[in-house]
Amino acid sequence: MSKSLQDKVIIVTGAGRGIGREIALLCAGEGAKVVVNDPGGAADGAGANAAPAEEVVEEIRKRGGMAVANFESVAEAVPASKIVKTATDHFGRLDGVVNNAGILRDMIFHKMSVEAFEAVIKVHLMGSFYVSHAAARIFREQESGSFVHFTSTSGLIGNFGQANYAAAKLGIVGLSKSIALDMGRFNVRSNCVSPFAWTRMIGTIPTETEAEKARVEKIKQMGPEKIAPLCGYLLGDSAKDVTGQIFGVRMNEIFLFSQNRPIRSVQRSEGWTPQSIAEHGMPALKGSFYKLDRSADIFTWDPV
């Protein structure tokens, strides 16, 4: 059976644990040479530890694959560019980037600190930009490449206490679409994946009520290994016509998400005033308003 990523060079950020680890292992199993990036910090980004990335590299090598560890943070431009340099220095090329690195600093909005907001934006949104931007020049020159970015239903749908995370994750959707539009002429693809899986970051969800405990138990059933196959597919040549899309993975389900388009309009030949908007415009539009849903309100059935 042929391997879908034979001899491709893939960067996976945040690959020391959880979803990133499973993606790195799958890519290596499919024949890729993998840069396992992870500074080894805590779920909130504090600290550093080389062990997680080194252990994944060791596991890949034990299985007969090729991998190298990198411990740079994605949250600053120069260190992020060194992740890309690690790939070209060790393996001579680069074919795919998985922007998976992330941290959480959850807090209800009026209590959220500026530092907590900026820290999450730096890792998720700026980190995805920094790594992608460094890789883009290589992809442009060779006229091939694939980006897989991680978004979340926290941004796509909504959640409590995650203004920083939601803003970053919805920003990544815009970033991915722009890369797909700008670089499509060079055979460069860019897609988003929204994962449902039990990871260290999800482990911060409160479990004070019985309903919260039941919800977390359901999430625990969803292993991070379920996310990896779609990412492996998107990095491979068989996905050459797939770009600018948003996918979700929940156990054995794969979703294609909608993207923002107008759903209803109103018009007046003489133009609008605040009063006529109140009397006519808004009542006509209200029937199509979105509720303040959270992810759990939309995905109401058990994972399968």
pLDDT at 234: 98
Distance CA(36)–CA(15), nearest Å, equals: 5
Best CA proximity match to 104, nearest among 120, 117, 90, 88: 120
pLDDT at 47: 86
Q: How is the chain split into domains, by residue range?
A: 9-256
- 96-99 and 66-70: which strand pairing? unpaired
pLDDT at 43: 87
pLDDT at 199: 60
DSSP string, 221-234: TS-GGGTHHHHHHH
DSSP state, residue 302: P
CA distances from 275 to 125, 156, 215, 265 (A): 40, 32, 45, 17
| Contact criterion met (CB below 8 Å) for 105 and 44 | yes
- Identify the CATH class of 9-256: alpha beta
pLDDT at 161: 95
- The model's pTM is 0.93
Distance CA(262)–CA(297), nearest Å, equals: 23
Best CA proximity match to 148, nearest among 44, 230, 214, 92: 230
pLDDT at 66: 98
Look up 233 and say whether it is catalytic: no
- From the list 130, 165, 233, 290, the catalytic residue is 165
pLDDT tens, residue order, the chain (304 aa): 789 999 999 999 999 999 999 999 999 999 999 999 999 988 878 888 899 999 999 999 999 999 999 999 999 999 999 999 999 999 999 999 999 999 999 999 999 999 999 999 999 999 999 999 999 999 999 999 999 999 999 999 999 999 999 999 999 999 999 999 999 999 999 999 999 986 655 555 566 777 767 766 767 778 899 999 999 999 999 999 999 999 999 999 999 999 999 999 999 999 999 999 999 999 999 999 999 999 989 998 888 8
pLDDT at 41: 85
